[in-house]
Chain A
Amino acid sequence: MAKGKLSFEEALARLEKIVAELEKGDFTLEESLKKFEEGLVLGKECREFLDKAEGRIRELVEEKEGQITEKDVTDEF
């Protein structure tokens, strides 16, 4: 999830809260709909986040003091 937006964990927690609130159903129809839509968007974003391109594996070696070289070694695993 992009920076500044909700983290995956926060988005999931928010979704859980919305689901519980809608179950209880103490909102007006408009409020419920708003929550419902927000919940669907959150669920979709979380899903997309999980399905995003695979994570990378990088190897970090300090060549000289404080000078770190980074190498992508994803294909080696």
Chain B
Amino acid sequence: MSTLEIKDLHVSIEDKEILKGVNLTLNTNEVHAIMGPNGTGKSTLASAIMGHPKYEVTSGEILLDGENVLEMEVDERAQAGLFLAMQYPSEIAGVTNADFLRSAINARREEGDEISIMKFIKQLDKTMDFLEMPEEMGQRYLNEGFSGGEKKRNEILQLMMIKPKFAVLDEIDSGLDIDALKIVSKGINEMRGEGFGCLMITHYQRLLNYITPDHVHVMMQGKVVKSGGSELAQRLEAEGYDWIKEELGIKDTNAVVEEA
């Protein structure tokens, strides 16, 4: 079993503090959902875990099986087993999806032990088939000209090919129609199990109809303010966030605006 621990994490962007002491522990074989209104720092948490260059961790810790993640470069974090399905994946012209994926897989293997092209293609075809992606998407340039839904599906394709220990999914459900949402969920559910842990960030309970989380956390004003089981998500869906604000005495006046 692997563990990802986030301890009292404070994160700023351009000297503005967004995260104000986040605590969270994930184990493999667990699916966590983080919910919360816009601008409460959910995406900032995702970016800080992966090491986005614009976010500055001012204090706190992120540990992966006791190793200090914050000292690692972005690629080292990925090699250590972290994955972030991004809300806005970059488009990279001239680099085919397949070539990119093969580079990502080979980056995890020793020189001279690269994955055979046949084996790679077989695995890619199978996974794309599972995600109902047309074969030509392997030869298209990485995310270039992809629709919003295609980009999300492509993030899940990468997740399934790379097989990380922990995946953070940043609003993987945004902009998806119901059919695409089902396929993306199918991919995530396929990954579930021993050796895989997941942190899903979402505004909407809708995603959780397809992926039942083991734990649900609510973030407000840069902190995790409430945690519970999947029933918490259902209550949020039914009643919104006001009851939590009331319960905790949170006022909206100083809500954080930034949500990259």
Asked whether A and B interact, the reply is no
